[in-house]
Amino acid sequence: MVDAVPVSPSFNEVVLTASIVERKALRYTPAGLPALDIGLHHESDVVEAQQPRKVVCDIRAVAIGPLAEQLNRTDIGAELKIKGFLGMTRNKRALLLHIIELLPN
């Protein structure tokens, strides 16, 4: 009999600050839930390998449910602290941040 190898937990959690730079029209999933596709912009200074680095990136994101409705009322340019997870777009060509919570700034 072979001993089972313990499975290490997998993690897929993202927390970042970003501002809304684009917001598509509110849509509804086949299950009837509101969904909102937004574009986010992030800038920060970090240290990597003991060297300072400026990080600038644009991120595609989606929110589902009441959070989608809340973000639909949020101004373009608003800075948010976001918690979510990474997935793929429907066509599987790019990463997509799924927003699951807005954190206090």
Angle at 66 between CA 60 and CA 71, to 5 degrees: 45
Q: What is the DSSP letter of 3?
A: P
pLDDT tens, 8-52?
677 899 999 999 999 999 999 999 999 999 999 999 999 999 999
Note the residue count of the chain: 105
Strands 51-64 and 95-103 turn out to be parallel
What percent of the chain has a predicted confidence (pLDDT) above 70? 92
> What is the CA 22 to chain-centroid distance, rounded?
14
What is the pLDDT, as a whole number, of residue 7?
Answer: 64
61, 97 contact by CB (below 8 A): yes
What are the helix (H) ranges across 17-95?
Answer: 66-72
pLDDT score, position 41 = 98
Nearest-angstrom CA–CA distance, 35 and 64: 4
Q: What is the arithmetic mean of pLDDT over 47-67?
A: 97
Cβ proximity of 44 and 53 under 8 Å: no
